[in-house]
């Protein structure tokens, strides 16, 4: 039986949507309250980061949460780390102990080093620099993973966890609410510490693709705002937006 969704959430479930993020954004613009949670059993035009499409057959989780944090866009983006952490913790709960769940900057959840979940953040500016709303789109490969990705992909079922979206959603939502509350009370520090506890090992060699250039270096953690710290030939560099891959050995 599914766990109950905490009262904070207002669930809007659909059989099929183009993209749960698009619907959540429309609801946000129409004044929907914080906690609105849009899910679809499948998406016909699921979207990933960098304008990629996100394969969205039935059996996986597609959810978008509307938040109205009283925060500027950079601070609101820290909630992407909270969402990745929540998915990782939920995955850990449905796996046997010791399953190799980890996090890759900024918001990817890996199992056995392959991507099992991604997060797409979208926000709209409001008054006085704060975002009017933030939509956190969460895609979790529960039953299947796409084959045609520029990175290795996997699903939870491939690692022995057979879990339906309706059962995974409340676990994940409960963890996300807990991290949202921690962030509201104490800021990014507790989220950052927990994220680092599940992230790439310090010193791991990374290849970082920025607009128009590619860097290599070693993972040196996150700064206080969530930027990736890359230790390279020219010293330690904070990186705000990029795509990260493991460097060739
Ligand atoms: C990524 O590229 O890593 C982010 C993928 C985000 C996919 C989710 S699925 C639910 C929500 N709706 C979308 O269209 N995208 C996000």
Ligand 1 in reach of 133 Cβ (< 6 A):
no
Q: Give the helix/strand (H/E) hosting 237.
A: strand 235-239
Mutate-to-test residue for ligand 1 from 23, 48, 56, highest number of ligand atoms within 8 A of CB: 48
Mean pLDDT of the chain: 95
Banded model confidence at residue 187, pLDDT cuts 50, 70, 90 = very high
Average pLDDT over residues 152-164: 96
Mutate-to-test residue for ligand 1 from 38, 54, 165, highest number of ligand atoms within 8 A of CB: 54
Query: In angstroms, what is the span from residue 138 Cα to ligand 1's centroid?
Result: 5
What's the confidence (pLDDT) of residue 234? 85
Average pLDDT over residues 7-26: 98
Angle between helices 79-94 and 188-197 (to 10 degrees): 40
Tell whether omega for the bond before 119 is within 30 degrees of 0, i.e. cis.
Answer: no
Beta bridge partners of 238: 229
Q: How far is CA 20 from CA 78, 121, 201, 208, in A?
A: 21, 12, 33, 29
Atom number in ligand 1 closest to CA 18: 14
Ligand 1 in reach of 80 Cβ (< 6 A):
no
Q: Alpha-carbon distance 90 to 101, whole Å?
A: 10
Q: What is the pairing mode between strands 61-67 and 101-104?
A: unpaired
**Is residue 69 predicted with pLDDT exceeding 80?**
yes
- pTM here is 0.96
Q: What percent of the chain has pLDDT over 70?
A: 99
Average pLDDT over residues 3-11: 94
Ligand 1 in reach of 218 Cβ (< 6 A):
no
Hey, what's the torsion of the CAs at 94, 96, 97, 103, to 10 degrees?
-50
The answer to whether the CB of 219 falls within 8 A of the CB of 200 is yes
What's the confidence (pLDDT) of residue 1? 53
Query: In angstroms, what is the span from residue 233 Cα to ligand 1's centroid?
Result: 34
Ligand 1 in reach of 141 Cβ (< 6 A):
no
Q: 86-116 pLDDT, tens per residue?
A: 999 999 999 988 899 999 999 999 999 999 9
198: which residues sit within 8 A by CB, 6+ positions away?
85, 88, 101, 102, 103
Q: 204-248 pLDDT, tens per residue?
A: 999 999 988 899 999 999 999 999 999 998 899 999 999 998 787
Average pLDDT over residues 179-189: 98
The pair of structure tokens assigned to 161 is 């966890």
Q: Alpha-carbon distance 204 to 247, whole Å?
A: 8
Count of beta carbons in the 10 Å neighbourhood of residue 195: 24
Q: Alpha-carbon distance 92 to 110, whole Å?
A: 11
Ligand 1 in reach of 54 Cβ (< 6 A):
yes
Query: In angstroms, what is the span from residue 236 Cα to ligand 1's centroid?
Result: 31
């Amino acid at each position: 039986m599914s766990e109950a969704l905490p009262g904070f959430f207002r669930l809007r479930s659909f059989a099929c949507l183009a993209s749960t993020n698009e619907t959540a954004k429309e609801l946000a613009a129409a004044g929907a309250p914080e906690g609105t949670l849009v899910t679809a059993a499948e998406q016909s035009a699921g979207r990933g980061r960098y304008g990629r499409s996100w394969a969205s057959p039935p059996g996986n989780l597609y959810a978008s949460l509307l938040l109205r944090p009283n925060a500027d866009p950079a601070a609101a983006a820290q909630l992407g780390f909270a969402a990745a952490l929540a998915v990782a913790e939920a995955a850990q709960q449905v796996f046997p102990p010791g399953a190799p769940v980890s996090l890759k900057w900024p918001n990817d959840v890996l199992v056995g080093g392959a991507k099992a979940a991604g997060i797409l953040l979208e926000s709209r500016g409001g008054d006085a620099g704060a975002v009017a709303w933030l939509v956190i789109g969460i895609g979790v490969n529960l039953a299947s993973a796409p084959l045609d990705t520029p990175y290795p992909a996997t699903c939870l079922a491939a690692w022995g966890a057979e879990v339906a979206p309706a059962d995974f959603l409340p676990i994940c939502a409960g963890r996300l609410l807990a991290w949202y509350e921690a962030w509201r009370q104490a800021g990014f520090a507790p989220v950052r510490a927990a994220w680092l506890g599940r992230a790439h090992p310090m010193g791991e060699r990374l290849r970082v693709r920025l607009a128009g250039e590619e860097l290599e270096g070693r993972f040196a953690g996150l700064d206080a705002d969530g930027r990736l710290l890359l230790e390279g030939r020219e010293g330690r560099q904070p990186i705000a937006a990029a795509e990260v891959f493991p460097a060739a050995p």
